[in-house]
Amino acid sequence: MENKALVEPFANVICAVIYKDSKVSSTEKEKFFAFFKEEFGLNETEIEPLLKENSTNIQGDLTLVKEAFANNISQKAKFMQYLNGLIYSDGVEDGEYEVFEEIREALF
């Protein structure tokens, strides 16, 4: 993705999943950094401040993420697969899947 304005909304959505269980595993951190390197071309210095607990409602961010995907179902599916892998990377917590379902319903 080329639109750098989408970095923060994507980070907030992903962090909602990561921080749902109140911990950040090394695998989650690696996957987070890899996503932003691959999708936005960011370096580690730019990515580090994005990995933070966000106490705000993610509905506004989800709207921006959905608009970024437009009608590209394969990109939406790829993002959902990424989130699913993130959830499984440190063991599944119920709360994480609640956030996952919220994201899925907003995007599809």
pLDDT digits (tens, 9 = 90+) for 67-106: 999 989 999 999 999 999 999 998 887 788 899 999 999 9
State both tokens at 18: 């990561």
Per-residue confidence (pLDDT) for residue 9, from 0 to 100? 96
The pLDDT tens digits for 31-61 are 999 999 999 999 999 999 999 998 668 999 9
Domain at 95, CATH number: 1.10.3680
Whole-structure pTM value: 0.92
Number of domains in the chain: 1
Range of the domain at 9: 4-107
Per-residue confidence (pLDDT) for residue 45, from 0 to 100? 97
Examine the pLDDT at 107 and tell me if it is beyond 90.
yes
Per-residue confidence (pLDDT) for residue 78, from 0 to 100? 96
In angstroms, what CA-CA distances link 51 with 9, 79, 102? Answer: 12, 17, 20
The pLDDT tens digits for 5-32 are 999 999 999 999 999 988 899 999 999 9
